[in-house]
Amino acid sequence: MRRSVWMLVILIMLPFLCYSQIAATPPMGWNSWDSYGLTIAEPEFKQNVDWFHAHLQPSGWQYVAIDEGWYLAQPDKAEQGYTLDANGRYIPAIHRFPSAGNDRGFKPIADYVHSLGLKFGIHIIRGIPRQAVTRNLPIAGSSYHAADAADTSDTCRWNHDNYGVKDNAAGQAYYDSLAKLYAGWGVDFVKVDCISQPYKRNEIRMMSGALKKTGRPIVLSLSPGPTPIADAADVTRRAQMWRISDDFWDVWNRDNTSNDFPQSVAHQFPLLAQWERYAGPGHWPDADMLPFGWLGPNPGWQQPRKSRLTADETRTVFTLWSIARSPLILGANLTRMDSTTEAMLTNREVLAVDQHSTDNKSLIHTPKIWVWTAHATSAKGDYVALFNVSDNPLKMHYTWRDLGLPAGKHIARDLWQHKKLVETGGIRTTLAPHASALYRVE
- 245 shares its domain with 386: no
182 and 148 within one domain: yes
d(CA 440, CA 399): 14
Residue 21's pLDDT is 75
Q: How many CB atoms neighbour CB 265 within 10 A?
A: 23
Query: What does DSSP say about strands 382-388 and 369-376: parallel, antiparallel, or unpaired?
Result: antiparallel
Would you call 50 helix, strand, or coil by DSSP? Answer: helix
Residue 4 domain-assigned? no
Whether residue 416 is contained in a domain is answered as: yes
**pLDDT < 50: residue spans in the chain:** 1, 5-19
Q: Which residue, of 338, 355, 372, is where some domain finishes?
A: 355
Question: For position 384, which CATH number holds?
Answer: 2.60.40.1180
Same domain, yes or no: 274 and 154: yes
| Pairs from 39-44 (Cβ < 8 Å, separation ≥ 24) | 39/69, 39/75, 39/76, 39/297, 39/298, 40/66, 40/67, 40/70, 40/96, 41/96, 41/97, 42/96, 42/97, 42/98, 42/99, 42/109, 44/335
Residues 127 and 18 in one domain: yes
Q: For residue 89, report the phi and psi dihedrals to the nearest 5 degrees.
A: -115, 140
Does 86 lie in the same domain as 206? yes
pTM of the model: 0.93
- 25 within domain boundaries: yes
Tell me how far apart the alpha carbons of residues 412 and 424 are, in angstroms, rounded to a whole number: 8
User: Is the same domain home to 128 and 178?
Assistant: yes
- 31: three-class secondary structure by DSSP: strand
In a domain, 5, yes or no: no
| Residue where a domain terminates, one of 314, 333, 355 | 355
254 within domain boundaries: yes
Count of domains in the chain?
2
CATH assignment at residue 197: 3.20.20.70
The contacts of residue 66 (CB under 8 Å, 6+ apart) are 32, 40, 45, 106, 109, 121, 122, 123
- 247, 182 Cβ separation under 8 angstroms: no
Domain holding 39, by residue range, is 10-355
Q: Which of 355, 378, 411 is the last residue of a domain?
A: 355
Same domain for 321 and 372, yes or no, is no
The verdict on 380 and 430 lying in the same domain is yes
Considering only CA atoms, which of 196, 191, 139, 195 is closest in space to residue 168? 139
Half-sphere exposure of 71 (CA within 13 A, CB side): 18
Q: Is 3 contained in some domain?
A: no
- 144 shares a domain with 72: yes
Residues 225 and 372 occupy one common structural domain:
no
Please indicate, yes or no, whether residues 306 and 410 belong to a single structural domain of this protein. no
What is the residue-averaged pLDDT of the chain?
A: 94
Same domain as 212, residue 86: yes
* 401 belongs to a structural domain: yes
410 in a structural domain: yes
